[in-house]
């Protein structure tokens, strides 16, 4: 797993503060370089980490006990837009149709968290989550719906404070609109194709 270089982040933050015309020695800013380094270490903790490790081996599934789908709704996540290094915050709804194994429900949010803790774009984040679940569990189908608010839209540029962005990623049998319609209904997202 890659670790951030705190000293370089602190130096870059000092330079940024000077570049905007402020003094890093001003009360209130003197600890900012260390705080930014701490924050970036957290924000980018998923860089170099393999999300598959959080799925483990999974648990064998007895076909007679198999349901149609597993759905974990409302997984809170935070990521950093790679275009502006501003945060985007939202929720992930992750569904999968198991084949031969399932995983503990707490492992799905861990996968989301690792993949979100990287410089990201929302579209790719959803695709990476879907790919990890499909690969790690051998799922017959995967559906990932992300709904997030982006600071690059809400706090700068067009300043659309209430807007959110919804993206959908699907794999396997859940690429079929008819197969995923019931899941969209459960999510309250309405029918989508």
Is 152 labelled as part of a ligand binding site? yes
Task: Identify whether the C-beta of residue 56 lies closer than 8 Å to the C-beta of residue 107.
Answer: yes
35 shares a domain with 115: no
Encode pLDDT of 95-141 as tens digits.
999 998 899 999 999 999 999 999 999 999 999 999 999 999 999 99
36 shares a domain with 62: no
Is 165 labelled as part of a ligand binding site? no
Q: For residue 192, tell me if it sits in a domain.
A: no
CA distances from 81 to 59, 125, 148, 155, 172 (A): 35, 11, 11, 13, 28
pTM: 0.90
CATH of the domain at 113: 3.30.1130.10
Total domains present in the chain: 2
Q: For residue 1, tell me if it sits in a domain.
A: no
Is 84 labelled as part of a ligand binding site? yes
Looking at the annotation, which residues are catalytic? 81-84, 122, 150, 152
């Amino acid at each position: 797993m890659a670790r951030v270089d705190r000293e370089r982040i602190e130096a870059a933050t000092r330079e940024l503060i000077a570049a905007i015309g402020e003094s890093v020695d001003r009360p209130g800013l003197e600890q900012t370089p260390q705080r930014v380094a701490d924050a970036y270490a957290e924000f980018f903790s998923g860089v170099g980490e393999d999300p598959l490790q959080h799925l483990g081996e999974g648990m064998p599934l007895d076909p007679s006990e198999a349901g149609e789908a597993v759905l974990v709704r409302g997984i809170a996540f935070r990521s950093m837009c790679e275009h502006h290094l501003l945060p985007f915050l939202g929720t992930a709804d992750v569904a999968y149709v198991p084949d031969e194994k399932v995983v503990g429900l707490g492992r799905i949010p861990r996968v989301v968290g690792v993949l979100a803790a990287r410089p990201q774009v929302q579209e790719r984040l959803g695709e990476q989550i879907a790919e990890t679940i499909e690969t790690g569990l051998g799922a017959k189908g995967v559906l990932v719906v992300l709904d997030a608010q982006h600071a690059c839209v809400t706090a700068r540029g067009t300043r659309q404070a209430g807007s959110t962005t919804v993206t959908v990623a699907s794999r396997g049998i859940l690429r079929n609109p008819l197969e995923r319609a019931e899941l969209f209904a459960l999510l309250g997202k309405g029918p989508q194709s």
